[in-house]
Structure 1
Amino acid sequence: MENSHTLKRYTSTLLLLVFVLFSLNAQTGFKEYQGKVIDGRTNKVIEAASLNINNTNISTITNSEGEFTLKVPNQYLDSKVVVTFLGYNTFVVPLSQLADNNYVVTLYEAVTKLSAVNIAAFKNAESLIRKVLSDKSKNVSEGSVFMTAFYRETIKRRNRNVSLTEAVVNILKQPNLSKQRDAIQLWKARKSTDYKRLDTVSVKLQGGPFSTMFLDIMKYPEYIFTDESIGSYNYVFDNPTTINNRTVYVVNFSPKANQLRVNYNGKLFIDVQTLALVSANYVLDVSDMKKTKNLLVKRKPSDVEVYPLEAIYKVDYKEKGDKWYYSYSNLSLTFKVNKKRQLFNKVYTLSSEMAVTDWVENSTDKKIKNKDKLRPSVIITDAISGFSDPNFWGEYNLIEPDKSIESAINKIKKNIEKQKERDKTVNG
C-alpha cells in the first residue's frame, strides 16, 4: 500500500514551462550570439534544443520559435558549441561561425537501432527500470553538490496572469543514498500578484522550489516508483533514440488496471552505456473525476470542489565528464474550481519550473545554515518578504510574465555575479 504521507507531499506540489541553463561564473566581458535551430527535413523550428559551450557549464536552450541567445565570456570565444536535441544527431560548430547572429543550426533525426546484445541484456523493460533505480548512485557525484538555480512560479486564471514569482535560490544537493535532506536557500526574489482576478478563491502553491526539486526521480524515486508501486506499471520498449550522439533506451510506462490511487503515464529516456536517466516526461491520469477530486489540494473551503484537468511533469539531467546532474524540471497543473451557488466554474493553471544555472562539487565551504533553509511546506509567494531587492533586479523591476525563463536569466546574470562578490566582501 502506498505511503499516504509521501503521496500527499508529492501530489500537492505538481506543475510546466521551458528551460535554460547558464553558467554564472564571474564574467569581465562577453560576446552575445543569436540564431535559430531547425529540423533539416521539415525546416520546422525546434523548441528546447540545448546549446552548450564545450567543456563548460555555459548553455542555453531555444525558445518556442526555435531561437536562441547565447552569452559567452571572452575567455571561451575560441570554443565550440554543441547543439543537441533528443532524437537528433548532435551538431558541433565553432563559435566563430555564429558571429553574424543569424546562424541557422540544422539538426537531423537520428536513425537508431539497438544491437541484439543490447536488447538481450534485459529480460524486459521493467528489469531495465529496476536496474536503473537500484544503481541510481553510480552515475552521480559521491559528495554533495552546491547549485545555483533560477525558479519561476505562475498562476493564471484562464489565460490571464494572476501571480508571477521569480527567485534565485541556492541548493545543497546531497548524494542519492545520503540520509541528509537536500536544502534550499532563498537568495533573491520578487513577485507580481493581482489577487482580484482570483475572485473569492485564493490559489497558492505549497512547496515552492521543492515542488520542482522533488521531480528528481533519481533522488526521490519514491514519489512515483515506490517498492510497492513499481510492479503496478506496464513497461514497454519504444523505438530507441539518441542524445549527444549516444543511444538512449525509450521506455513507455502505464498503470496496470488502475491499481494505484494515483496513476501516471509517461516515457523514460535511459542512456544505453551508463544506464543513467537522461529525461522523464509523464502525466497524471485524471480521467476518473471522482477518484481525483481534490487530490492535489492541501486546504480548501468546504463549499469548493477542485477537479484536476491536466497535470504534466518533466525532469532533465545534464552530463559532465562521467557524472550526471539534475538540471531542470517543470510541472503544470490545470484544474477547475466548482463553488456552490455559483453558475460558472473557474479554470486555473499553476506552473512551476527550476533551471540549474551553475554547480560546484564537494565544496566544503558551500553550506546553507539551518536558519536559512526553506521548509518543504513553504508557500513562496508568502515567504519572499525581505528578499526583494530592487537594486539586484536593476532596470528590470517590471516582471514580464510572457517572456521565457531564458530571457529572465539573461537580464539578471550580471547582477547575480555582482551580488556574489558583494556577499564575499561582507562575509570577509
Structure 2
Amino acid sequence: MATGMVGLRSAAQTDAPARRTYATVSGTVRDTRTNRVLPAVHVAVPGTGIGTVTNADGYFSLHVADSLRADRIEFSHIGYALLTYPIRPGTQVEAASIRLTPNANLLEEVTVMGGDARDLVRQAVDRITDNYPQRANRLTGFYREVIRKGRRYIDISEAIVGLYKTPYNGVGTNTDRVRLEKGRRLLSQRPGDTLIVKFEGGPTLSIFLDVVKNSDLMFAPDEMEHYAFRYNRTTLIDDRPHVEIRFMPRVVCPYALYEGLLYIDSETRTISRAEFSLDMTDRLKATQAMLRKKPAGLRFRPERLAFLVTYRRQADGRSSLAYVRCETAFRCDWHRRLFATSYVVTSEMAITDRDETHAEKIPYREAFRSRDALTDRAADFYDANFWDGYNIIEPTESLENAVGRLMRRRNRD
C-alpha cells in the first residue's frame, strides 16, 4: 500500500501483541483461476454479526475479539465457493492470501424451474416474515462517502453509525433509525472544488436501500406491476443455489423506475442480493429522483445512479442486511459556460456488528435524518488512531494516495 499515509488505515494493525485483545487478519482476496482481485467479498465470523467487505483492491482487515473464542472466519462472494480461514485468539496475520474458487457449472439450467419469474419474486415477498429478522436488531456499520471531480478526490467522509432495525413484519422502515457515533471528513481546499448540489441519503441509505423492507422501492403489489421479470441464470451464494432474475420497467410512470438483477435462494426464496440502477430514459424524471437542491442557473445532467444491496444468512437461517453501496454520476455546468464538470459520488456501508439481545431504540432527537449532512457533523482527518479497534472498509490505494495529497495541500495552505 502507499507510503506517506496520514492515518486512514486503522492503527490497531500495528499494536504490540501484548496490548491486543483481538485477533486481526488482513490480506487480499483473489480469484484462484485468474488471480484478479475481488471487491465486495463478505468477510465474517460465522454465527456472529462481526464482519466487513473487501475494498475495490480486494483488500480487507478484520478484528475479532478474543472473547468470542472464534476459530475461523468465512469469505463469501457471489459465484464463488464459500471459503473458511482458521484464526487463533490474539494472533495477527498481516498478508493473508485468500483465493476463492469460482463455482463450476454444476447448477441446473434455470429453465427447469418453469413458470413465471414474477411468481418467484412474489413468493420471495410473501416469505419475508419467514426469512428475515422478526426481532428488533441493533447494527453497527462503517460508512464511507467519497466525491470525485473528474479524476480527483475532493471530499472524503467516514463514520461509524448505529442502526436500529425493527422486525421485518410488513411495517416498513418508518421506525428504523440511524445514529452517528463517530465521524470525520477531509475536504479539498482548492477554490471551485465545493460541490454545490445536495442529495438525499448519507448514512440513511442503509434504511432506504433495504429493498426487502422498503417495499415502496419495487416490491409493493402495485409497484411490482410496473416491472417485467425474466429468468436469467443460476449461481451460488454462500454455497446455496440462487436464481438470478432480471427486471426492467414495462410501463411509463410519472416517476423514474429501476432496472437490474435480483438473486433469490432456490430453496428458501430469500432475496440475498439486489443490483439495480435508475432508468435514465427520461432525464427529467431521473433528476427529480436524484437531486434535492441546486443553485439557480446550474444545469444538472444525471448520468448514473446504481445500487448494490446484500444480505447474509445468519446462524438461525434468517438473512440480515450486510452491505449497501450507491454510486451517483452526473455533470454540472453554468449557463453560457462551454464545458461541464463530471462528478461521481460513491457511498457504501458495511454492517460490522449485529446485536439482537440489546436492541435499544435510538431516540428520535439523536437520529440522523436524510436531510442531514454527514460533512457538517464530522471531525477532521488528523488523528492517526481515529479508527483504532474498529472494523472498517479498508481504503483503496488510490484513496490513500488522495488523502495524502489533500493533507499535504492543507498543510501548505
After TM superposition, the score normalised by the length of structure 1 is 0.77
Pairing 1:348–2:343 present: yes
Q: Deviation per CA, 1:110-166: give whole Å up to 9, x if none.
A: 32424899715xx21111111212322211222211111112222221122222221
Q: Deviation per CA, 1:325-355: give whole Å up to 9, x if none.
A: 1111010111011311222112111221112
Pairing 1:58–2:50 present: yes
Deviation (angstroms), 1:203: 2.8
Counterpart Cα distance in 1 of 2:111 and 2:200: 46
Counterpart Cα distance in 2 of 1:45 and 1:150: 22
Q: Deviation per CA, 1:19-72: give whole Å up to 9, x if none.
A: xxxxxxxx9522333443332333333222223333333333333333433333
How many residues in Structure 1 have an aligned counterpart in Structure 2? 369
For the 8 Å contact 1:89–1:110, the answer to whether it is kept is: no
Partner of 2:187: 193
Alignment CA distance shift 1:45-1:169 (3 Å): closer
In the alignment, which of 21, 38, 53 is matched to residue 46 of structure 1?
38
Aligned to 1:298, the other structure's residue is in SS state strand
Partner of 1:419: none
Partner of 1:406: 394
Q: What amino acid does structure 2 have at the position aligned with 1:150?
A: F
Q: What amino acid does structure 2 have at the position aligned with 1:360?
A: D
Counterpart Cα distance in 1 of 2:237 and 2:195: 44
In the alignment, which of 118, 137, 144 is matched to residue 129 of structure 2?
137
Structure 1: segments with no counterpart, 5+ residues = 1-26, 399-403, 409-428
Q: What amino acid does structure 2 have at the position aligned with 1:282?
A: F
Once the two structures are overlaid, the 10-residue window that deviates more, 329-338 or 173-182, is 173-182
In the alignment, which of 61, 64, 71 is matched to residue 69 of structure 1?
61
Alignment CA distance shift 1:388-1:41 (3 Å): closer
For the 8 Å contact 2:147–2:153, the answer to whether it is kept is: yes
Partner of 1:19: none
For the 8 Å contact 1:255–1:264, the answer to whether it is kept is: yes
Counterpart Cα distance in 2 of 1:379 and 1:166: 12
Deviation (angstroms), 1:88: 1.5
Q: What amino acid does structure 2 have at the position aligned with 1:178?
A: V
Deviation (angstroms), 1:281: 0.4
Partner of 1:333: 328
Partner of 1:221: 215
Aligned to 2:216, the other structure's residue is in SS state helix
Q: What amino acid does structure 1 have at the position aligned with 2:29?
A: V
Once the two structures are overlaid, the 10-residue window that deviates more, 350-359 or 43-52, is 43-52
Counterpart Cα distance in 1 of 2:296 and 2:94: 60
Counterpart Cα distance in 2 of 1:100 and 1:339: 49
Counterpart Cα distance in 1 of 2:199 and 2:129: 31
In the alignment, which of 368, 374, 387 is matched to residue 362 of structure 2?
368
Deviation (angstroms), 1:76: 5.8
RMSD: 3.1
Pairing 1:320–2:314 present: yes
Counterpart Cα distance in 2 of 1:98 and 1:66: 19
Alignment CA distance shift 1:372-1:99 (3 Å): closer
For the 8 Å contact 1:84–1:244, the answer to whether it is kept is: yes
Alignment CA distance shift 1:53-1:186 (3 Å): closer
Counterpart Cα distance in 1 of 2:163 and 2:70: 32
Counterpart Cα distance in 1 of 2:264 and 2:25: 32
Counterpart Cα distance in 1 of 2:49 and 2:61: 15
Deviation (angstroms), 1:246: 0.8
Pairing 1:178–2:199 present: no
For the 8 Å contact 2:176–2:207, the answer to whether it is kept is: no
Aligned to 1:406, the other structure's residue is in SS state coil
Counterpart Cα distance in 2 of 1:148 and 1:221: 23
Counterpart Cα distance in 1 of 2:32 and 2:325: 28
Partner of 2:384: 395
Deviation (angstroms), 1:278: 0.6
After TM superposition, the score normalised by the length of structure 2 is 0.79
Partner of 2:25: 33
Counterpart Cα distance in 1 of 2:219 and 2:191: 38
Percent identity (aligned): 26
Once the two structures are overlaid, the 10-residue window that deviates more, 161-170 or 192-201, is 192-201
For the 8 Å contact 2:25–2:92, the answer to whether it is kept is: yes
Structure 2: segments with no counterpart, 5+ residues = 1-18, 397-413
Q: What amino acid does structure 1 have at the position aligned with 2:374?
A: I
For the 8 Å contact 1:143–1:362, the answer to whether it is kept is: no
Aligned to 2:123, the other structure's residue is in SS state helix
Aligned to 1:332, the other structure's residue is in SS state strand
Q: What amino acid does structure 2 have at the position aligned with 1:153?
A: E
Partner of 2:202: 208
Counterpart Cα distance in 2 of 1:172 and 1:216: 13
For the 8 Å contact 1:54–1:79, the answer to whether it is kept is: no
Q: What amino acid does structure 2 have at the position aligned with 1:167?
A: A
For the 8 Å contact 1:293–1:305, the answer to whether it is kept is: no
Counterpart Cα distance in 2 of 1:194 and 1:151: 20
Residues 81-96 of structure 1: matches in 2 within 5 Å? 81-95=73-87
Counterpart Cα distance in 1 of 2:282 and 2:256: 10
For the 8 Å contact 2:107–2:234, the answer to whether it is kept is: yes
